[in-house]
Amino acid sequence: MSDGLLVTGGTVLTVNERNEVIEDGAVFIERGRIADLGEAAALNERYPNAERLDAAGQAVLPGLVNLHLHSGLIRGTAEDLPVFEWLAKYVDPKHRALTEELAYAAARLSYAEGILSGTTCVMDMYRFMHRCAEAADQLGLRATLAPYVVDKPGMDYFESLEKNERLVREFSGAAGGRIQVWFALEHLTYCTEGAYRQAAALAEKYGTGIHTHGEESREMAARLHQETGRWPVELFCDRGILGPKTVLAHCVWLQPEEMELLAKTGTSVAHCPVSNLKLASGIAPIKELLDLGVNVGIGTDGVKENNNLDMLEELKFVPLLQKARLLDATAIPAETALRMATIDGAKALGLDEEIGSLEIGKKADLIVVDFRKHHLTPIMRGKYSNAVSNLVYAASGSDVSHVFVEGHPLMKDRKLLTADAEQIRLEAQDAAEKLFALREPFIPA
């Protein structure tokens, strides 16, 4: 006799150590955790009184972890420029004009978009993040908040380490433990050496992580090396922030010695392939990082540089780019890409003991993807099983039918349950129009 929820009849992609796939499988959820999983026939008999979700013709897998996100409102309006010109003309003026109400609308839009496309956990680097915490609490997803900290003169419109520390004290562990707060620094050219050292000390004091941008511009990497005699990752090491609780976004232009440093220190990388393509930054050496044992997760980056937060779309680019870059069709298998978007992202956030794979005892953060679509047919089993390949190469966020975090349904049959999706959209539209009006005086001639 048991209550709980039985997700039954689907192809279960466990993403456990063996990448086990259970065809005609089932997952039993009780009190927010995975209490059992295995063959559907056995679990249906074992839990006759459980509520049932029929997942026949669908895939059941861990919720996706978006390891690098910037909430935002300027989607589709900051286009076709190299990264630092793009920052100066569009992004910095936006930060000058941003208010906490606009940041709240942006976070609600971004988190709702993530849930609707299968993301259950995000690392969001943004501003006014007490309002982002409010949005994450309301919508029900898991969030690591990483405020934009900048301390160079003339850039006081960003966040400070003092505000970051206050956010850590006030919101770490909020929303029943779904929210954690890290220390975050925008970029080597935006922050002083002292800011990195202070962030490292604060992260150690509070037992939290550090997030910052690794280099995505070849020109900037070369300039920093010319000015300092050190490559960007070497500078991070000198300033004391590398380690297993640190995530560097992008890392497109890495020297061999930088990759060795990442591996030696256990530092994780958030790979953002679509953003790197759109801003013409290049293609990160992900195959080489994986070969060295570096933990790599996947991020979408923000709506201004992607232009969406569809992690399933992002997933496809990860193996394709490495295959093309190396002219090696075996460079990154589909199973590896799926691990990067789930368990490896969770590991980067220090959450892999709780989420990132479907295993008994873990929190029930999972999604259901409907394979009963023309572009996902045929569904093959046994010798010709193609569930993981179809997921990586053919699925998109619009194929996600159900989303659960700790067993709580956030989306059912494509309907967002934790907020009014249309109201979020309309409020974001209004907020964007206000932001553009406020930003106008700050746009350089």
Average pLDDT over residues 95-108: 97
Give Dmax over CA atoms of the chain in angstroms. Answer: 70
Domain boundaries, the chain: 5-62+357-416, 64-348
Handedness of CA 197, 199, 203, 205 (dihedral sign): positive
CA distances from 148 to 119, 128, 247, 301 (A): 22, 9, 14, 14
The predicted structure's pLDDT at residue 399: 98
CA distances from 398 to 99, 156, 174, 313 (A): 31, 39, 30, 10
Find the range with the poorest average confidence among 46-60, 80-94, 234-248, 345-359. Answer: 80-94
Burial 13-38 (b: 16+ CB within 10 A, else e): bbbeeebebbeebbbbbbebbbbbbe
pLDDT category at 29 given cuts 50, 70, 90 is very high
What is the residue-wise DSSP string for 227-261? HHSS-HHHHHHHTT--STTEEEE---S--HHHHHH
Distance CA 348, CA 340 (A): 10
Neighbours of 253 (CB within 10 A): 21
- Mind listing the pLDDT tens digit for each residue in 379-396? 999 999 999 999 999 999
Element (H, E) at 95: helix 92-97
Strands 142-145 and 400-405: unpaired
pLDDT category at 1 given cuts 50, 70, 90 is very low
* Whether 193 contacts 239, CB under 8 Å: yes
Do domains 5-62+357-416 and 64-348 share one topology? The answer is: no
The radius of gyration of the chain's CA atoms, rounded to the nearest angstrom, is: 21
The predicted structure's pLDDT at residue 207: 98
- Residue 359 per-residue DSSP state: -
pLDDT category at 2 given cuts 50, 70, 90 is low
CA distances from 403 to 60, 352, 367 (A): 10, 19, 4
Give the fold, CATH level 3, of 5-62+357-416: Urease, subunit C; domain 1 (2.30.40)
- Mind listing the pLDDT tens digit for each residue in 78-90? 888 888 888 888 8
- Mind listing the pLDDT tens digit for each residue in 165-212? 999 999 999 999 999 999 999 999 999 999 999 999 999 999 999 999
Tokens of 263: 């591996």
**What is the amino acid identity at position 13?**
L
Strands 246-249 and 210-213: parallel
pLDDT category at 235 given cuts 50, 70, 90 is very high
* Whether 284 contacts 276, CB under 8 Å: yes
Tokens of 156: 């006081």
Query: 158-164 long-range CB contacts below 8 Å, 24 or more apart?
Result: 158/95, 158/127, 158/186, 158/190, 159/127, 159/129, 161/195, 161/198, 161/199, 161/202, 164/199, 164/202
Q: Which residues contact 86 (CB under 8 A, 6 or more apart)?
A: 78, 279, 305
Distance CA 66, CA 346 (A): 9
The predicted structure's pLDDT at residue 412: 98
Per DSSP, what are the bridge partners of residue 248?
212, 269
Per DSSP, what are the bridge partners of residue 124?
69, 145
Which superfamily does 64-348 belong to?
Metal-dependent hydrolases (3.20.20.140)
- Mind listing the pLDDT tens digit for each residue in 316-371? 999 999 999 999 999 999 999 999 999 999 999 999 999 999 999 999 999 999 99
